[in-house]
A and B are shown apart, each in its own frame.
Chain A
Amino acid sequence: MHEAAVPLVIELTILVLAIFLGIEVISKVPTMLHTPLMSGTNAIHGIVLVGAILVAGRADADGLTLVVGFVAVALGTANVVGGFVVTDRMLEMFKTRRRDR
Protein backbone atom coordinates (compact mmCIF):
# COMPACT_ATOMS: atom_id res chain seq x y z
CA MET A 1 0.00 0.00 0.00
CA HIS A 2 2.99 2.28 0.25
CA GLU A 3 4.31 1.69 -3.25
CA ALA A 4 3.71 4.29 -5.93
CA ALA A 5 2.44 6.82 -3.43
CA VAL A 6 0.20 9.55 -4.80
CA PRO A 7 1.88 12.96 -4.53
CA LEU A 8 0.99 14.66 -1.27
CA VAL A 9 -0.32 17.71 -3.07
CA ILE A 10 -2.97 15.65 -4.86
CA GLU A 11 -4.13 14.11 -1.59
CA LEU A 12 -4.29 17.56 -0.02
CA THR A 13 -6.32 18.81 -2.98
CA ILE A 14 -8.77 15.95 -2.51
CA LEU A 15 -9.02 16.74 1.21
CA VAL A 16 -9.72 20.43 0.71
CA LEU A 17 -12.28 19.84 -2.04
CA ALA A 18 -14.02 17.22 0.09
CA ILE A 19 -14.25 19.63 3.01
CA PHE A 20 -15.89 22.28 0.83
CA LEU A 21 -18.24 19.69 -0.64
CA GLY A 22 -19.09 18.49 2.87
CA ILE A 23 -19.98 22.00 4.01
CA GLU A 24 -22.18 22.53 0.92
CA VAL A 25 -24.06 19.25 1.30
CA ILE A 26 -24.44 19.39 5.05
CA SER A 27 -25.68 22.98 5.20
CA LYS A 28 -28.77 21.72 3.33
CA VAL A 29 -29.68 19.24 6.07
CA PRO A 30 -32.62 20.60 8.12
CA THR A 31 -32.30 20.99 11.91
CA MET A 32 -34.97 18.32 12.25
CA LEU A 33 -32.51 15.72 10.94
CA HIS A 34 -29.39 16.81 12.78
CA THR A 35 -29.35 13.84 15.14
CA PRO A 36 -29.58 11.30 12.29
CA LEU A 37 -26.96 13.41 10.50
CA MET A 38 -24.60 13.01 13.43
CA SER A 39 -25.14 9.29 13.74
CA GLY A 40 -24.97 8.92 9.94
CA THR A 41 -21.64 10.73 9.70
CA ASN A 42 -20.59 8.64 12.67
CA ALA A 43 -21.25 5.54 10.59
CA ILE A 44 -19.34 7.06 7.66
CA HIS A 45 -16.18 7.59 9.70
CA GLY A 46 -16.43 3.88 10.41
CA ILE A 47 -14.57 3.74 7.08
CA VAL A 48 -11.49 3.54 9.31
CA LEU A 49 -12.33 -0.16 9.31
CA VAL A 50 -10.75 -0.24 5.83
CA GLY A 51 -7.51 1.05 7.35
CA ALA A 52 -7.76 -1.38 10.23
CA ILE A 53 -8.12 -4.33 7.82
CA LEU A 54 -5.08 -3.22 5.81
CA VAL A 55 -3.03 -3.04 9.02
CA ALA A 56 -4.29 -6.25 10.60
CA GLY A 57 -3.90 -8.17 7.33
CA ARG A 58 -0.21 -7.45 6.80
CA ALA A 59 1.54 -10.64 5.75
CA ASP A 60 4.57 -9.77 7.90
CA ALA A 61 2.49 -8.91 10.96
CA ASP A 62 4.16 -9.60 14.30
CA GLY A 63 2.41 -10.12 17.63
CA LEU A 64 1.93 -6.46 18.42
CA THR A 65 0.55 -5.66 14.97
CA LEU A 66 -1.87 -8.58 15.18
CA VAL A 67 -3.19 -7.60 18.61
CA VAL A 68 -3.48 -3.91 17.79
CA GLY A 69 -4.98 -4.70 14.38
CA PHE A 70 -7.46 -7.12 15.93
CA VAL A 71 -8.73 -4.50 18.36
CA ALA A 72 -8.84 -1.85 15.64
CA VAL A 73 -10.90 -4.11 13.35
CA ALA A 74 -13.32 -4.91 16.18
CA LEU A 75 -13.72 -1.21 17.07
CA GLY A 76 -14.08 -0.19 13.42
CA THR A 77 -16.73 -2.84 12.78
CA ALA A 78 -18.73 -1.81 15.85
CA ASN A 79 -18.54 1.77 14.59
CA VAL A 80 -19.78 0.90 11.09
CA VAL A 81 -22.50 -1.57 12.01
CA GLY A 82 -23.79 0.30 15.05
CA GLY A 83 -23.74 3.63 13.22
CA PHE A 84 -25.76 2.52 10.22
CA VAL A 85 -28.24 0.43 12.23
CA VAL A 86 -29.00 3.19 14.72
CA THR A 87 -29.36 5.78 11.95
CA ASP A 88 -31.78 3.52 10.12
CA ARG A 89 -33.78 3.05 13.31
CA MET A 90 -34.13 6.80 13.69
CA LEU A 91 -34.92 7.63 10.08
CA GLU A 92 -37.58 4.95 9.99
CA MET A 93 -39.49 6.90 12.63
CA PHE A 94 -39.75 10.10 10.63
CA LYS A 95 -43.17 9.64 9.12
CA THR A 96 -45.60 11.91 7.46
CA ARG A 97 -49.19 12.11 8.65
CA ARG A 98 -51.24 9.08 7.59
CA ARG A 99 -54.75 10.27 6.89
CA ASP A 100 -55.99 6.78 6.06
CA ARG A 101 -55.78 5.53 9.63
Chain B
Amino acid sequence: MSRTTTDLLYLVTIVTFILALRFLSSPKRARQGNLLGAAGMALAIGVTLAQPGLENFVPMVVAMAIGTVVGVVGARSVKMTAMPQMVALFNGVGGGAVALIALAEFHNLASEGLSAEDAVAILLSALIGSISFAGSLVAFAKLQELIAGRPIVYRAQQLVNAAVLLAAVGLGGAIVAGAESDAMVVGLILAALAFGVLFVLPIGGADMPVVISLLNAFTGLAASAAGFLLHNNVLIVAGALVGASGTLLTILMGRAMNRSLANVLFGAFGAAPAAGAGGAAAEDGRSVRATSAEDLAIMLAYARKVVFVPGYGLAVAQAQHDVRTLAELLEAKGVDVLYGIHPVAGRMPGHMNVLLAEANVPYEQLKEMDEINPELPQTDVVVILGANDVVNPAARSDPSSPIYGMPIIDVDRAASVVVVKRSLSPGFAGIDNPLFYDPKTSMLFADAKAALEQVAGALKAL
Protein backbone atom coordinates (compact mmCIF):
# COMPACT_ATOMS: atom_id res chain seq x y z
CA MET B 1 0.00 0.00 0.00
CA SER B 2 1.50 3.32 -1.03
CA ARG B 3 1.88 6.22 1.33
CA THR B 4 -0.74 8.18 -0.61
CA THR B 5 -3.33 5.39 -0.47
CA THR B 6 -2.65 4.98 3.24
CA ASP B 7 -3.09 8.68 3.90
CA LEU B 8 -6.30 8.82 1.86
CA LEU B 9 -7.78 5.93 3.80
CA TYR B 10 -6.72 7.60 7.06
CA LEU B 11 -8.56 10.68 5.81
CA VAL B 12 -11.72 8.58 5.54
CA THR B 13 -11.23 7.60 9.17
CA ILE B 14 -10.82 11.26 10.14
CA VAL B 15 -14.12 12.07 8.44
CA THR B 16 -15.93 9.26 10.29
CA PHE B 17 -14.61 10.57 13.63
CA ILE B 18 -15.85 14.08 12.88
CA LEU B 19 -19.25 12.72 11.82
CA ALA B 20 -19.42 10.59 14.97
CA LEU B 21 -19.09 13.76 17.05
CA ARG B 22 -21.44 15.68 14.76
CA PHE B 23 -24.16 13.02 15.17
CA LEU B 24 -23.89 13.38 18.94
CA SER B 25 -25.77 16.66 18.68
CA SER B 26 -29.02 14.70 18.94
CA PRO B 27 -29.88 11.45 20.71
CA LYS B 28 -31.67 10.26 17.56
CA ARG B 29 -28.57 9.73 15.45
CA ALA B 30 -25.94 9.51 18.15
CA ARG B 31 -25.80 5.73 18.12
CA GLN B 32 -25.35 5.58 14.35
CA GLY B 33 -22.55 8.09 14.67
CA ASN B 34 -20.75 5.97 17.21
CA LEU B 35 -20.99 2.92 14.96
CA LEU B 36 -19.64 4.99 12.08
CA GLY B 37 -16.70 6.07 14.22
CA ALA B 38 -16.07 2.44 15.16
CA ALA B 39 -16.07 1.48 11.48
CA GLY B 40 -13.60 4.27 10.75
CA MET B 41 -11.40 3.03 13.55
CA ALA B 42 -11.50 -0.52 12.16
CA LEU B 43 -10.48 0.85 8.76
CA ALA B 44 -7.50 2.73 10.24
CA ILE B 45 -6.36 -0.38 12.11
CA GLY B 46 -6.72 -2.54 8.99
CA VAL B 47 -4.77 -0.03 6.88
CA THR B 48 -2.02 0.12 9.50
CA LEU B 49 -1.71 -3.66 9.67
CA ALA B 50 -1.40 -3.75 5.85
CA GLN B 51 1.63 -1.43 5.84
CA PRO B 52 4.64 -2.84 3.97
CA GLY B 53 7.54 -4.09 6.08
CA LEU B 54 5.45 -4.70 9.16
CA GLU B 55 6.37 -7.81 11.15
CA ASN B 56 5.78 -9.50 14.53
CA PHE B 57 2.14 -10.28 13.74
CA VAL B 58 1.87 -13.16 16.20
CA PRO B 59 2.59 -11.14 19.35
CA MET B 60 0.48 -8.28 18.00
CA VAL B 61 -2.54 -10.50 17.43
CA VAL B 62 -2.13 -11.96 20.91
CA ALA B 63 -1.94 -8.45 22.41
CA MET B 64 -5.03 -7.37 20.45
CA ALA B 65 -6.92 -10.46 21.58
CA ILE B 66 -6.09 -9.69 25.21
CA GLY B 67 -7.09 -6.04 24.77
CA THR B 68 -10.35 -7.01 23.07
CA VAL B 69 -11.37 -9.43 25.81
CA VAL B 70 -10.54 -6.90 28.54
CA GLY B 71 -12.33 -4.11 26.67
CA VAL B 72 -15.49 -6.07 25.89
CA VAL B 73 -15.83 -7.65 29.32
CA GLY B 74 -15.18 -4.33 31.05
CA ALA B 75 -17.57 -2.39 28.84
CA ARG B 76 -20.35 -4.98 29.01
CA SER B 77 -20.24 -5.58 32.75
CA VAL B 78 -19.81 -2.04 34.06
CA LYS B 79 -22.81 -0.61 35.89
CA MET B 80 -24.03 2.76 34.64
CA THR B 81 -23.40 4.25 38.09
CA ALA B 82 -19.75 3.18 37.70
CA MET B 83 -19.40 4.85 34.29
CA PRO B 84 -17.07 7.63 35.53
CA GLN B 85 -14.55 5.05 36.77
CA MET B 86 -14.78 3.20 33.47
CA VAL B 87 -14.15 6.35 31.47
CA ALA B 88 -11.20 7.19 33.73
CA LEU B 89 -9.79 3.71 33.25
CA PHE B 90 -10.04 3.63 29.45
CA ASN B 91 -8.65 7.13 29.41
CA GLY B 92 -5.63 6.11 31.47
CA VAL B 93 -5.05 3.06 29.31
CA GLY B 94 -4.83 5.25 26.20
CA GLY B 95 -2.41 7.61 27.91
CA GLY B 96 -0.26 4.68 28.99
CA ALA B 97 -0.12 3.39 25.41
CA VAL B 98 1.16 6.80 24.22
CA ALA B 99 3.90 6.88 26.86
CA LEU B 100 5.04 3.40 25.80
CA ILE B 101 5.08 4.42 22.12
CA ALA B 102 7.33 7.33 23.05
CA LEU B 103 9.67 5.03 24.99
CA ALA B 104 9.96 2.52 22.13
CA GLU B 105 10.48 5.22 19.52
CA PHE B 106 13.22 6.85 21.56
CA HIS B 107 14.89 3.49 22.10
CA ASN B 108 14.95 2.86 18.36
CA LEU B 109 15.75 6.34 17.09
CA ALA B 110 18.08 7.91 19.65
CA SER B 111 21.19 6.12 18.39
CA GLU B 112 20.61 7.51 14.88
CA GLY B 113 20.42 11.01 16.30
CA LEU B 114 17.00 12.50 16.98
CA SER B 115 15.83 15.61 15.19
CA ALA B 116 14.75 18.38 17.55
CA GLU B 117 11.16 17.94 16.37
CA ASP B 118 11.14 14.23 17.15
CA ALA B 119 12.75 14.85 20.53
CA VAL B 120 10.08 17.39 21.47
CA ALA B 121 7.35 15.02 20.27
CA ILE B 122 8.84 12.22 22.39
CA LEU B 123 9.10 14.50 25.40
CA LEU B 124 5.45 15.61 25.11
CA SER B 125 4.04 12.13 24.39
CA ALA B 126 5.90 10.58 27.33
CA LEU B 127 5.10 13.45 29.69
CA ILE B 128 1.40 13.97 28.95
CA GLY B 129 0.69 10.28 28.36
CA SER B 130 2.21 9.28 31.71
CA ILE B 131 0.46 12.04 33.66
CA SER B 132 -2.82 10.99 32.09
CA PHE B 133 -2.20 7.30 32.86
CA ALA B 134 -1.30 7.78 36.53
CA GLY B 135 -3.83 10.56 37.15
CA SER B 136 -6.63 8.50 35.63
CA LEU B 137 -5.76 5.48 37.75
CA VAL B 138 -5.90 7.59 40.92
CA ALA B 139 -9.23 9.08 39.77
CA PHE B 140 -10.45 5.53 39.15
CA ALA B 141 -9.31 4.41 42.62
CA LYS B 142 -11.03 7.40 44.25
CA LEU B 143 -14.31 6.87 42.40
CA GLN B 144 -14.23 3.12 43.02
CA GLU B 145 -13.51 3.95 46.67
CA LEU B 146 -10.32 1.90 46.67
CA ILE B 147 -8.74 4.95 48.29
CA ALA B 148 -10.38 7.77 50.24
CA GLY B 149 -12.37 10.12 48.01
CA ARG B 150 -11.65 13.13 50.18
CA PRO B 151 -8.69 15.33 49.28
CA ILE B 152 -5.36 14.02 50.55
CA VAL B 153 -3.34 17.05 51.59
CA TYR B 154 -0.03 17.58 53.32
CA ARG B 155 2.27 20.47 53.91
CA ALA B 156 4.26 21.94 51.00
CA GLN B 157 2.22 19.76 48.64
CA GLN B 158 2.32 22.22 45.76
CA LEU B 159 6.10 22.60 46.19
CA VAL B 160 6.61 18.84 46.05
CA ASN B 161 4.35 18.56 42.99
CA ALA B 162 6.14 21.40 41.24
CA ALA B 163 9.51 19.81 42.00
CA VAL B 164 8.43 16.46 40.54
CA LEU B 165 7.06 18.11 37.42
CA LEU B 166 10.24 20.15 37.05
CA ALA B 167 12.31 16.97 37.28
CA ALA B 168 10.23 15.41 34.48
CA VAL B 169 10.54 18.50 32.30
CA GLY B 170 14.27 18.69 33.06
CA LEU B 171 14.80 15.12 31.84
CA GLY B 172 12.78 16.07 28.77
CA GLY B 173 15.11 19.00 28.23
CA ALA B 174 18.08 16.64 28.33
CA ILE B 175 16.42 14.51 25.64
CA VAL B 176 15.90 17.52 23.40
CA ALA B 177 19.53 18.51 24.04
CA GLY B 178 20.62 15.16 22.63
CA ALA B 179 20.89 12.64 25.51
CA GLU B 180 20.81 9.12 24.06
CA SER B 181 20.31 6.88 27.09
CA ASP B 182 17.00 5.05 27.53
CA ALA B 183 17.28 5.82 31.23
CA MET B 184 16.44 9.45 30.41
CA VAL B 185 13.04 8.57 28.97
CA VAL B 186 12.37 5.99 31.67
CA GLY B 187 13.22 8.62 34.29
CA LEU B 188 10.98 11.14 32.53
CA ILE B 189 8.10 8.65 32.49
CA LEU B 190 8.57 7.76 36.17
CA ALA B 191 8.64 11.41 37.22
CA ALA B 192 5.55 12.14 35.12
CA LEU B 193 3.74 9.13 36.62
CA ALA B 194 4.58 10.39 40.11
CA PHE B 195 3.28 13.83 39.18
CA GLY B 196 0.06 12.30 37.82
CA VAL B 197 -0.56 10.58 41.16
CA LEU B 198 0.39 13.59 43.27
CA PHE B 199 -1.71 16.03 41.31
CA VAL B 200 -4.97 14.04 41.60
CA LEU B 201 -4.57 12.98 45.26
CA PRO B 202 -5.49 16.39 46.74
CA ILE B 203 -8.64 16.68 44.60
CA GLY B 204 -11.89 15.62 46.28
CA GLY B 205 -14.36 13.06 44.93
CA ALA B 206 -16.95 15.74 44.18
CA ASP B 207 -14.54 17.43 41.76
CA MET B 208 -13.81 14.26 39.80
CA PRO B 209 -16.05 15.26 36.84
CA VAL B 210 -13.66 18.12 36.18
CA VAL B 211 -10.57 15.98 36.63
CA ILE B 212 -11.81 13.25 34.31
CA SER B 213 -12.64 15.82 31.62
CA LEU B 214 -9.21 17.37 32.00
CA LEU B 215 -7.41 14.03 31.83
CA ASN B 216 -9.48 13.17 28.77
CA ALA B 217 -8.11 16.30 27.12
CA PHE B 218 -4.58 15.29 28.20
CA THR B 219 -4.83 11.88 26.57
CA GLY B 220 -6.10 13.54 23.39
CA LEU B 221 -3.15 15.91 23.32
CA ALA B 222 -0.78 13.02 24.06
CA ALA B 223 -2.22 11.19 21.03
CA SER B 224 -1.62 14.32 18.93
CA ALA B 225 1.98 14.47 20.14
CA ALA B 226 2.41 10.81 19.14
CA GLY B 227 1.02 11.79 15.73
CA PHE B 228 3.83 14.33 15.35
CA LEU B 229 6.33 11.67 16.35
CA LEU B 230 5.03 9.09 13.86
CA HIS B 231 4.06 11.70 11.22
CA ASN B 232 0.56 10.34 11.23
CA ASN B 233 -2.34 12.72 10.47
CA VAL B 234 -5.10 10.56 11.86
CA LEU B 235 -3.42 10.60 15.29
CA ILE B 236 -2.94 14.36 15.12
CA VAL B 237 -6.55 15.08 14.18
CA ALA B 238 -8.21 12.50 16.45
CA GLY B 239 -6.08 13.69 19.36
CA ALA B 240 -6.98 17.32 18.67
CA LEU B 241 -10.72 16.51 18.59
CA VAL B 242 -10.45 14.74 21.94
CA GLY B 243 -8.31 17.52 23.36
CA ALA B 244 -10.89 20.12 22.31
CA SER B 245 -13.75 18.06 23.75
CA GLY B 246 -12.03 17.48 27.09
CA THR B 247 -11.05 21.13 27.41
CA LEU B 248 -14.55 22.35 26.60
CA LEU B 249 -16.15 19.97 29.12
CA THR B 250 -13.63 21.01 31.76
CA ILE B 251 -14.61 24.64 31.26
CA LEU B 252 -18.34 23.84 31.30
CA MET B 253 -18.02 21.84 34.53
CA GLY B 254 -16.04 24.63 36.19
CA ARG B 255 -18.70 27.12 35.14
CA ALA B 256 -21.52 24.89 36.45
CA MET B 257 -19.80 24.85 39.83
CA ASN B 258 -18.75 28.50 39.64
CA ARG B 259 -15.14 27.51 40.29
CA SER B 260 -11.98 28.22 38.38
CA LEU B 261 -9.88 25.33 37.17
CA ALA B 262 -7.10 26.43 39.52
CA ASN B 263 -9.50 26.29 42.45
CA VAL B 264 -10.60 22.75 41.50
CA LEU B 265 -7.04 21.51 41.02
CA PHE B 266 -5.37 23.21 43.98
CA GLY B 267 -8.23 24.20 46.28
CA ALA B 268 -8.64 20.78 48.01
CA PHE B 269 -12.39 21.54 48.06
CA GLY B 270 -14.22 19.58 50.75
CA ALA B 271 -11.09 18.80 52.78
CA ALA B 272 -12.57 20.39 55.90
CA PRO B 273 -16.37 20.78 55.95
CA ALA B 274 -17.49 24.34 56.56
CA ALA B 275 -17.43 24.61 60.33
CA GLY B 276 -20.57 23.83 62.25
CA ALA B 277 -22.91 24.42 59.34
CA GLY B 278 -25.21 21.42 59.76
CA GLY B 279 -25.10 21.09 63.52
CA ALA B 280 -25.71 24.72 64.36
CA ALA B 281 -28.72 24.91 62.12
CA ALA B 282 -31.05 23.02 64.43
CA GLU B 283 -30.15 25.22 67.36
CA ASP B 284 -30.84 28.63 65.89
CA GLY B 285 -34.59 28.27 66.11
CA ARG B 286 -35.39 27.50 62.48
CA SER B 287 -37.88 24.71 62.09
CA VAL B 288 -38.48 22.18 59.35
CA ARG B 289 -41.79 20.69 58.36
CA ALA B 290 -41.88 16.91 57.97
CA THR B 291 -44.33 15.15 55.69
CA SER B 292 -45.33 11.57 55.00
CA ALA B 293 -45.43 9.41 51.88
CA GLU B 294 -49.25 9.50 51.95
CA ASP B 295 -49.38 13.29 52.10
CA LEU B 296 -46.87 13.55 49.27
CA ALA B 297 -48.97 11.14 47.18
CA ILE B 298 -52.01 13.38 47.63
CA MET B 299 -50.02 16.52 46.79
CA LEU B 300 -48.72 14.94 43.62
CA ALA B 301 -52.04 13.48 42.55
CA TYR B 302 -53.72 16.88 42.61
CA ALA B 303 -50.85 18.76 40.98
CA ARG B 304 -50.88 19.86 37.36
CA LYS B 305 -47.17 19.97 36.95
CA VAL B 306 -44.49 18.09 38.88
CA VAL B 307 -40.72 18.39 38.47
CA PHE B 308 -38.31 15.82 39.89
CA VAL B 309 -34.81 17.05 40.64
CA PRO B 310 -32.52 14.02 40.96
CA GLY B 311 -29.03 14.03 42.42
CA TYR B 312 -26.42 11.36 42.77
CA GLY B 313 -28.12 10.23 46.01
CA LEU B 314 -30.91 8.84 43.82
CA ALA B 315 -28.45 6.63 41.98
CA VAL B 316 -26.80 5.55 45.21
CA ALA B 317 -30.21 4.42 46.44
CA GLN B 318 -30.76 2.63 43.07
CA ALA B 319 -34.11 4.39 42.83
CA GLN B 320 -34.06 5.51 39.17
CA HIS B 321 -36.63 2.85 38.21
CA ASP B 322 -38.86 3.78 41.13
CA VAL B 323 -38.99 7.43 40.14
CA ARG B 324 -39.91 6.45 36.58
CA THR B 325 -42.70 4.14 37.90
CA LEU B 326 -44.05 6.98 40.03
CA ALA B 327 -43.83 9.38 37.09
CA GLU B 328 -45.83 6.98 34.89
CA LEU B 329 -48.54 6.68 37.56
CA LEU B 330 -48.77 10.47 37.73
CA GLU B 331 -48.90 10.83 33.96
CA ALA B 332 -51.76 8.32 33.87
CA LYS B 333 -53.58 10.74 36.18
CA GLY B 334 -52.92 13.59 33.76
CA VAL B 335 -50.06 15.21 35.68
CA ASP B 336 -47.34 16.85 33.60
CA VAL B 337 -43.96 15.38 34.71
CA LEU B 338 -40.48 16.71 33.94
CA TYR B 339 -37.00 16.15 35.34
CA GLY B 340 -34.68 19.07 36.09
CA ILE B 341 -31.06 18.07 35.75
CA HIS B 342 -28.15 20.15 36.94
CA PRO B 343 -24.98 19.90 34.83
CA VAL B 344 -23.00 18.47 37.74
CA ALA B 345 -25.67 16.03 38.96
CA GLY B 346 -23.88 12.70 39.16
CA ARG B 347 -20.21 11.89 39.00
CA MET B 348 -19.38 13.09 35.51
CA PRO B 349 -20.83 15.52 32.94
CA GLY B 350 -24.25 14.27 31.84
CA HIS B 351 -24.12 11.25 34.14
CA MET B 352 -27.63 11.68 35.56
CA ASN B 353 -29.14 11.66 32.06
CA VAL B 354 -27.53 8.30 31.37
CA LEU B 355 -28.78 6.87 34.67
CA LEU B 356 -32.35 8.00 33.96
CA ALA B 357 -32.18 6.84 30.35
CA GLU B 358 -31.17 3.44 31.69
CA ALA B 359 -34.37 3.46 33.74
CA ASN B 360 -36.33 4.07 30.49
CA VAL B 361 -37.19 7.69 31.21
CA PRO B 362 -37.92 9.21 27.79
CA TYR B 363 -35.25 11.80 27.04
CA GLU B 364 -37.78 14.52 26.13
CA GLN B 365 -38.63 14.73 29.83
CA LEU B 366 -35.01 15.38 30.82
CA LYS B 367 -34.57 19.15 31.02
CA GLU B 368 -31.31 20.98 31.48
CA MET B 369 -31.00 23.64 34.15
CA ASP B 370 -31.52 26.53 31.72
CA GLU B 371 -34.63 24.88 30.30
CA ILE B 372 -36.27 23.95 33.59
CA ASN B 373 -35.70 27.19 35.50
CA PRO B 374 -38.25 29.23 33.51
CA GLU B 375 -40.80 26.43 34.08
CA LEU B 376 -40.46 26.33 37.85
CA PRO B 377 -42.65 29.36 38.73
CA GLN B 378 -45.53 27.49 37.05
CA THR B 379 -44.72 24.21 38.78
CA ASP B 380 -46.96 22.96 41.58
CA VAL B 381 -44.62 20.50 43.26
CA VAL B 382 -40.88 19.98 42.99
CA VAL B 383 -39.58 16.73 44.44
CA ILE B 384 -35.88 16.71 45.26
CA LEU B 385 -34.33 13.29 45.31
CA GLY B 386 -30.78 13.03 46.60
CA ALA B 387 -29.74 16.48 45.38
CA ASN B 388 -28.61 19.19 47.75
CA ASP B 389 -26.01 21.80 46.81
CA VAL B 390 -27.41 22.19 43.27
CA VAL B 391 -30.75 23.42 44.69
CA ASN B 392 -29.30 25.53 47.50
CA PRO B 393 -30.71 29.07 47.25
CA ALA B 394 -27.73 30.33 49.28
CA ALA B 395 -25.86 30.17 45.97
CA ARG B 396 -28.06 33.08 44.85
CA SER B 397 -28.58 35.01 48.05
CA ASP B 398 -25.73 34.50 50.52
CA PRO B 399 -22.41 36.04 49.45
CA SER B 400 -20.66 34.37 52.39
CA SER B 401 -21.61 30.87 51.21
CA PRO B 402 -18.80 28.83 49.63
CA ILE B 403 -21.09 28.06 46.69
CA TYR B 404 -22.25 31.67 46.21
CA GLY B 405 -22.57 32.41 42.49
CA MET B 406 -22.93 28.78 41.43
CA PRO B 407 -25.82 28.40 38.98
CA ILE B 408 -28.59 26.37 40.62
CA ILE B 409 -31.99 24.93 39.82
CA ASP B 410 -34.37 27.51 41.29
CA VAL B 411 -36.67 25.04 43.03
CA ASP B 412 -37.68 27.62 45.63
CA ARG B 413 -39.64 29.43 42.92
CA ALA B 414 -42.12 26.55 42.60
CA ALA B 415 -45.38 26.57 44.58
CA SER B 416 -44.18 23.86 46.94
CA VAL B 417 -41.06 21.80 47.44
CA VAL B 418 -40.64 18.34 48.92
CA VAL B 419 -37.15 17.15 49.81
CA VAL B 420 -36.70 13.40 50.13
CA LYS B 421 -33.64 12.93 52.28
CA ARG B 422 -32.48 10.66 55.09
CA SER B 423 -31.59 13.49 57.45
CA LEU B 424 -30.76 17.18 57.56
CA SER B 425 -27.05 16.49 57.04
CA PRO B 426 -25.34 18.82 54.56
CA GLY B 427 -24.10 17.72 51.11
CA PHE B 428 -20.58 17.09 49.79
CA ALA B 429 -19.36 20.56 50.43
CA GLY B 430 -20.71 20.55 53.98
CA ILE B 431 -22.84 23.63 53.34
CA ASP B 432 -26.06 24.41 55.17
CA ASN B 433 -29.13 24.52 52.91
CA PRO B 434 -31.72 27.22 53.80
CA LEU B 435 -34.17 25.55 51.40
CA PHE B 436 -34.91 22.96 54.10
CA TYR B 437 -36.22 25.71 56.39
CA ASP B 438 -38.28 27.52 53.76
CA PRO B 439 -41.98 27.61 54.80
CA LYS B 440 -43.07 26.07 51.53
CA THR B 441 -40.67 23.17 51.85
CA SER B 442 -41.56 19.92 53.51
CA MET B 443 -39.11 17.15 54.27
CA LEU B 444 -39.76 13.47 53.76
CA PHE B 445 -37.11 11.80 55.90
CA ALA B 446 -36.54 8.47 54.19
CA ASP B 447 -34.35 6.50 51.84
CA ALA B 448 -35.22 7.62 48.30
CA LYS B 449 -36.08 4.14 47.06
CA ALA B 450 -38.31 3.20 50.01
CA ALA B 451 -40.00 6.61 49.91
CA LEU B 452 -40.78 6.42 46.19
CA GLU B 453 -42.20 2.91 46.56
CA GLN B 454 -44.45 4.09 49.42
CA VAL B 455 -45.61 7.15 47.49
CA ALA B 456 -46.40 5.01 44.45
CA GLY B 457 -48.29 2.56 46.69
CA ALA B 458 -50.28 5.36 48.31
CA LEU B 459 -51.02 6.86 44.90
CA LYS B 460 -52.45 3.57 43.63
CA ALA B 461 -54.67 3.36 46.72
CA LEU B 462 -56.10 6.86 46.20
Number of interface residues of A (CB under 8 A): 87
Tell me which of A2, A40, A41, A57 has the highest count of chain B C-beta atoms within 10 A of its own C-beta: A41
B260 within 8 A of A: no
| Tally of A-B Cβ pairs under 8 angstroms | 383
Bound complex: CA of A74 vs CA of B279, how far in Å? 52
Binds A, one of B43-51, B142-150, B421-429: B43-51
Interface of A is mostly: helix
Contacting pair A14 B350 (CB below 8 A): no
Segment 255-295 of B: residues with Cβ below 8 Å from A: none
> Using Cβ atoms and an 8 Å threshold, which residues of chain A touch B358?
93
> Using Cβ atoms and an 8 Å threshold, which residues of chain B touch A74?
63-64, 66-67, 70
Binds A, one of B100-108, B301-309, B389-397: B100-108
Contacting pair B31 A37 (CB below 8 A): no
Look across to chain B and name the residue whose beta carbon is closest to the beta carbon of A92.
Answer: B31
Do A41 and B86 form a contact, CB below 8 Å, given A19-B240, A47-B239, A48-B235?
no
Bound complex: CA of A61 vs CA of B59, how far in Å? 12
B373 within 8 A of A: no
Closest CB in chain B relative to A30 CB, distance in Å: 7
> Using Cβ atoms and an 8 Å threshold, which residues of chain B touch A23?
244, 248
Contacting pair B80 A48 (CB below 8 A): no
Contacting pair B236 A48 (CB below 8 A): no
Contacting pair A85 B249 (CB below 8 A): no
Binds A, one of B14-22, B199-207, B430-438, B452-460: B14-22
B155 within 8 A of A: no
Contacting pair A38 B348 (CB below 8 A): yes
Bound complex: CA of A87 vs CA of B75, how far in Å? 9
Chain B 173-216 against A: per-residue CB contact (8 Å), 1 yes, 0 no?
00000000010000000000000000000000000000011001
Segment 5-48 of A: residues with Cβ below 8 Å from B: 5-6, 8, 11, 14-15, 18-23, 25-48
Contacting pair B246 A46 (CB below 8 A): no
Closest CB in chain A relative to B67 CB, distance in Å: 3
Do A43 and B53 form a contact, CB below 8 Å, given A38-B87, A89-B75, A89-B76?
no
Bound complex: CA of A46 vs CA of B194, how far in Å? 23
Look across to chain A and name the residue whose beta carbon is closest to the beta carbon of B343.
Answer: A31
Known: A38-B245, A42-B87. 5 other contacts (CB 8 A): A33-B350, A55-B100, A68-B103, A77-B71, A83-B90
Query: Which B positions have Cβ atoms within 8 angstroms of A?
Result: 3, 13, 17-18, 20-22, 24-28, 30-31, 34-35, 37-38, 41, 44-45, 48-49, 51, 53-57, 59-60, 62-64, 66-68, 70-72, 74-76, 78, 80, 83, 86-87, 90-91, 93-94, 96-98, 100-101, 103-105, 107-109, 117, 182, 212-213, 216, 219-220, 222-224, 226-246, 248-249, 252, 341, 343, 346, 348-351, 353-354, 357-358, 360, 362-366, 368
Query: Which A positions have Cβ atoms within 8 angstroms of B?
Result: 1-2, 4-6, 8, 11, 14-15, 18-23, 25-62, 64-66, 68-98
Considering the complex of A and B, which 6 residue pairs feature the smallest CB-CB distances, nearest first?
A77-B67, A22-B244, A34-B350, A81-B71, A82-B71, A18-B240
